Amino acid sequence: MEEKIAKRSKVIKIFRAGVFFAIAVAIALSMGYYRSMLALAESVSLPLNFPSGWAQSSAGDMPGHGSATGQSSTMSQGNAMSRGGAMSRGGAMSRGNAMGSGGGAGYGGPVTINIAKTGILKKLVQPNVIHMMSHRIVNKDKYPHKVKLELIGNNNNYPVHWESTRKDWNEKSKTFERMVMPGGSVNMAWDFIIPRKMLEQDVIFDGGIAVIDAQTNQRLSYLPVKIINTDASSSGKDECCAP
């Protein structure tokens, strides 16, 4: 009898451990899902390579620089994106980037940060600071480059805080003083500080990050960045009456 009870209690113990294990796995997966939901609004992480196809466009073709026609022509050169008006473009661009996956995609496609998707805690504590980072701005060229970064399209003069872990980052000239060798990389994080009244706009920022060779002034790459505030969805799946 005692043996039976001991056996039973052992089975219960194993079952209990299994339940705890499964709950912990589920918690980790939920955290991952929550993180992926926020990846388009908070702590946006983007891989960026240079030189890239975007760099071949003239400055006038770049989003945030030229006309609406210029925008669409640049976009058609890049990734496969849906083109059905500003909102649908925004949604599709975000999805196409595989951002926040811990470094998946190698090419820096357009980035749309939708602050409407910001998590509730961030909205409560600090809704007006938008963070974007690139752990790896990689030199895919055969030659070394002295890299300068430029933020383009900051027409509203939002304060932007730049931060790199690199020793050779020169904040004043926005240049990495050491040559980036082929295969080498630099990193950068940007904090956009948006005045609260501007947060209500549909399009808060429409510009991009340019990677420039500091010696030749040649543009090596360009990453269009758009900060928007909209609940609209390209697929309509977020709407309650969606089919």
Partner 1 sequence: MLHKGISSDSVIKHHLKRAAWIIVGVVLFYAPFALIVKMATIIFPGASLGTVNGDVHQACLRMPISWLAQPQMLLRVLGNPLYLIVLVALPVTAFLFAPVFCGWLCPAGGFTEYLSRLVPDRFKLDFRGKVDFTPIRYGFLSGLIVTPLVTSSICCSFCNFGYMQNFVSAGFGDFSSFAYWSSTGIITLVLWLFFLGIFTKGGRGWCNFLCPAGAIQGLFSRLGMNLPWVYRIRHDKQSCSSCATCENICPPRSIERSGESLRINPYTCNACLDCVVNCPSNAISYKKGKSNES
3-class secondary structure, 196: helix
CA distance 164 to 168: 9
Segment contacting partner 1 by CB under 8 A, of 32-40, 84-92, 199-207, 209-217: 32-40
Looking at the Cβ atoms of 85 and 104, the one nearer to partner 1 is: 104
Question: What residues from 111 to 150 belong to the interface with partner 1 (CB under 8 A)?
Answer: 118-122, 125-126, 129, 131
Give the CA distances from residue 46 to residues 55, 88, 92, 103, 117, in Å, rounded to whole numbers and listed in that order: 17, 21, 16, 8, 17
Looking at the Cβ atoms of 28 and 59, the one nearer to partner 1 is: 28
CA distance 8 to 18: 15
From the list 141, 218, 150, the residue with the least C-alpha distance to 185 is: 141
Residue 161 as a binder of partner 1 (CB under 8 A): the answer is yes
Rg over alpha carbons for the chain, rounded to the nearest Å, is 22
165: left (phi over 0), alpha (psi -120 to 50) or beta: alpha
Residue 227 as a binder of partner 1 (CB under 8 A): the answer is no
Looking at the Cβ atoms of 21 and 143, the one nearer to partner 1 is: 21
Looking at the Cβ atoms of 150 and 168, the one nearer to partner 1 is: 168
Interacting residue with partner 1 among 12, 22, 59, 203 (CB under 8 A): 22
Residue 67 beta carbon to partner 1: minimum distance, rounded to whole angstroms: 34
Q: How far apart are the first and last CA of the chain?
A: 60
CA distance 28 to 18: 15
What is the secondary structure of 53-118 as a DSSP string?
GGGGS-GGGSTTTS-HHHHHHHHHHSS----SSHHHHHHHHHHHT-TTSSS--SS---EEEEGGG-
Q: How many residues bind partner 1 (CB under 8 A)?
A: 46
Residue 57 beta carbon to partner 1: minimum distance, rounded to whole angstroms: 30
Looking at the Cβ atoms of 177 and 239, the one nearer to partner 1 is: 177
Residue 105 as a binder of partner 1 (CB under 8 A): the answer is no
Looking at the Cβ atoms of 99 and 220, the one nearer to partner 1 is: 99
Question: What residues from 45 to 84 belong to the interface with partner 1 (CB under 8 A)?
Answer: none
Interacting residue with partner 1 among 88, 151, 191, 199 (CB under 8 A): 191
Task: List residues binding partner 1 (CB under 8 A).
Answer: 16-29, 31-36, 38-39, 42-43, 100-103, 118-122, 125-126, 129, 131, 161, 163, 165-168, 178, 184, 191
